Structure 1
């Protein structure tokens, strides 16, 4: 299983969510992606993004000002 990592450290909102969304394009449901972000708004924005895309936030950790957010892709929305 390949690891998917999106490094958006140093970028302000909405860049972390946009990069995560781009990384999710074309991935099958159930794939896990880890987002690294320093913008605290990612803690709020990513769950909204996952709700829109049918995905799940699996884990959120913060250490030394770096958020590590693990998400799982959901079914690809239609329409």
Structure 2
């Protein structure tokens, strides 16, 4: 289980170091890119383009970590 949390942290660091979309301007550009995709080929992406491009990196990391820790806690309760 500790490797799952470690991979989440390392993945977030790699995204940040690799120039992932993080600034408000970059998120706006990505939203436009997602919205401009052919809806027939990518219906979910185009439908949810505003949501996909709006996620703040810190919020995304915190949400993922919360999901992992909650899942680990539930798994431990079940044992």
**Which structure's residues are more often strand, by fraction?**
1
User: Do they fold alike, i.e. is TM over 0.5?
Assistant: no
Q: TM-score, normalised by structure 2?
A: 0.29
**Which structure's residues are more often helix, by fraction?**
2
Looking at CA atoms only, which structure, 1 or 2, has the larger radius of gyration? 2
Q: TM-score, normalised by structure 1?
A: 0.29
